Amino acid sequence: MKVPILRFKNILLTSIQMDLTDQDALDFQSDLLRMANSTEAKGVVIDIKALDVVDSYLARILNETASMLRLLGTKTVITGMQPTVALTLVEMGRELIGVETALNFEQGVEKLQRSIEKREGEDSYGEE
Protein backbone atom coordinates (compact mmCIF):
# COMPACT_ATOMS: atom_id res chain seq x y z
CA MET A 1 0.00 0.00 0.00
CA LYS A 2 1.37 3.39 -0.98
CA VAL A 3 0.84 6.33 1.38
CA PRO A 4 -0.08 9.47 -0.60
CA ILE A 5 2.01 12.58 0.08
CA LEU A 6 0.52 15.98 -0.73
CA ARG A 7 2.29 19.28 -1.02
CA PHE A 8 0.77 22.42 0.49
CA LYS A 9 2.99 25.51 0.05
CA ASN A 10 6.29 24.50 1.63
CA ILE A 11 4.85 21.69 3.75
CA LEU A 12 4.29 18.03 2.88
CA LEU A 13 1.11 16.51 4.26
CA THR A 14 0.62 12.82 4.68
CA SER A 15 -1.81 10.61 6.50
CA ILE A 16 -1.28 6.90 7.13
CA GLN A 17 -4.75 5.47 6.64
CA MET A 18 -4.08 1.75 6.85
CA ASP A 19 -1.89 -0.69 8.75
CA LEU A 20 1.49 -0.76 7.03
CA THR A 21 3.61 -3.83 6.53
CA ASP A 22 7.29 -3.35 7.35
CA GLN A 23 8.08 -2.96 3.66
CA ASP A 24 5.27 -0.39 3.26
CA ALA A 25 6.80 1.58 6.13
CA LEU A 26 10.25 1.54 4.52
CA ASP A 27 8.78 2.59 1.15
CA PHE A 28 6.93 5.43 2.86
CA GLN A 29 10.17 6.56 4.48
CA SER A 30 12.07 6.69 1.19
CA ASP A 31 9.16 8.33 -0.69
CA LEU A 32 8.97 11.02 1.95
CA LEU A 33 12.72 11.69 1.89
CA ARG A 34 12.78 11.83 -1.90
CA MET A 35 9.82 14.18 -2.03
CA ALA A 36 11.14 16.44 0.75
CA ASN A 37 14.35 16.73 -1.18
CA SER A 38 12.78 17.40 -4.59
CA THR A 39 10.21 19.92 -3.30
CA GLU A 40 12.60 21.55 -0.81
CA ALA A 41 9.87 21.27 1.79
CA LYS A 42 10.48 23.03 5.08
CA GLY A 43 8.18 20.78 7.05
CA VAL A 44 6.36 17.44 7.04
CA VAL A 45 3.16 16.46 8.85
CA ILE A 46 2.55 12.74 9.33
CA ASP A 47 -0.94 12.00 10.60
CA ILE A 48 -1.35 8.64 12.35
CA LYS A 49 -4.90 9.07 13.63
CA ALA A 50 -6.08 6.00 11.71
CA LEU A 51 -3.48 3.70 13.27
CA ASP A 52 -4.70 1.66 16.22
CA VAL A 53 -1.34 -0.10 16.62
CA VAL A 54 2.14 1.42 16.48
CA ASP A 55 4.59 -1.29 17.41
CA SER A 56 8.30 -0.91 18.14
CA TYR A 57 9.23 -1.35 14.49
CA LEU A 58 6.95 1.39 13.18
CA ALA A 59 7.91 3.66 16.09
CA ARG A 60 11.53 3.20 15.13
CA ILE A 61 10.84 3.90 11.45
CA LEU A 62 8.94 7.09 12.31
CA ASN A 63 11.76 8.19 14.60
CA GLU A 64 14.40 7.50 12.01
CA THR A 65 12.37 9.24 9.31
CA ALA A 66 12.15 12.39 11.42
CA SER A 67 15.92 12.26 12.07
CA MET A 68 16.66 11.81 8.37
CA LEU A 69 14.35 14.67 7.42
CA ARG A 70 16.03 16.84 10.04
CA LEU A 71 19.35 16.20 8.34
CA LEU A 72 17.79 17.48 5.11
CA GLY A 73 16.68 20.61 6.95
CA THR A 74 13.03 19.59 7.17
CA LYS A 75 11.04 19.58 10.39
CA THR A 76 8.59 16.74 11.13
CA VAL A 77 5.44 16.77 13.24
CA ILE A 78 3.45 13.61 13.98
CA THR A 79 -0.22 14.23 14.61
CA GLY A 80 -3.35 12.49 15.80
CA MET A 81 -1.82 9.71 17.87
CA GLN A 82 -4.59 7.76 19.57
CA PRO A 83 -4.44 7.80 23.38
CA THR A 84 -4.18 4.01 23.60
CA VAL A 85 -1.27 4.06 21.16
CA ALA A 86 0.52 6.69 23.28
CA LEU A 87 -0.11 4.58 26.38
CA THR A 88 1.24 1.44 24.75
CA LEU A 89 4.36 3.17 23.39
CA VAL A 90 5.24 4.60 26.79
CA GLU A 91 4.63 1.27 28.51
CA MET A 92 6.86 -0.44 25.97
CA GLY A 93 9.58 2.02 26.78
CA ARG A 94 9.67 3.13 23.19
CA GLU A 95 8.37 6.63 22.99
CA LEU A 96 8.69 8.56 19.80
CA ILE A 97 11.63 10.32 21.36
CA GLY A 98 12.72 13.46 19.57
CA VAL A 99 9.70 13.65 17.31
CA GLU A 100 7.49 16.70 17.59
CA THR A 101 3.81 15.88 17.99
CA ALA A 102 0.49 17.70 17.86
CA LEU A 103 -3.02 16.71 18.84
CA ASN A 104 -4.42 16.88 15.33
CA PHE A 105 -3.58 17.64 11.73
CA GLU A 106 -4.58 21.29 11.89
CA GLN A 107 -2.50 21.98 15.01
CA GLY A 108 0.41 20.15 13.43
CA VAL A 109 0.30 22.37 10.36
CA GLU A 110 0.06 25.49 12.54
CA LYS A 111 2.98 24.37 14.67
CA LEU A 112 5.10 23.85 11.56
CA GLN A 113 4.10 27.15 9.99
CA ARG A 114 5.02 29.01 13.18
CA SER A 115 8.39 27.34 13.43
CA ILE A 116 9.13 27.92 9.73
CA GLU A 117 8.21 31.62 10.03
CA LYS A 118 10.41 31.92 13.11
CA ARG A 119 13.30 30.26 11.34
CA GLU A 120 12.93 32.46 8.27
CA GLY A 121 12.77 35.54 10.48
CA GLU A 122 16.03 34.52 12.13
CA ASP A 123 17.63 33.82 8.72
CA SER A 124 16.81 37.25 7.29
CA TYR A 125 18.05 38.90 10.47
CA GLY A 126 21.36 37.10 10.07
CA GLU A 127 21.74 38.34 6.48
CA GLU A 128 21.51 42.01 7.34
Partner 1 sequence: MARSRITLKAESDVITARQAGRETARHLGLSLADQTRLATAISELARNAIQHAGRGTCLITDRSNQHAINIQVAVEDRGPGIPDIERVMEYGFSSSRGLGCGLPAARRLVDEFDIQSEPGYTKVTIGMVRPRVP
User: Which residues of this chain interact with partner 1, rule CB under 8 A?
Assistant: 19, 21-23, 52-57, 60-61, 82, 84-85, 87-88, 91-94
Distance CA 5, CA 111 (A): 19
Q: Which is nearer to partner 1, 6 or 53 (CB)?
A: 53
Q: Which is nearer to partner 1, 82 or 107 (CB)?
A: 82
- Cα angle, residue 11 at apex, residues 80 and 30 outer, rounded to 5°: 80
**CB nearer partner 1, residue 6 or residue 87:** 87
Torsions phi, psi of 45, nearest 5? -110, 125
Instruction: Find the shortest distance in angstroms from Cβ 19 to partner 1.
Output: 5
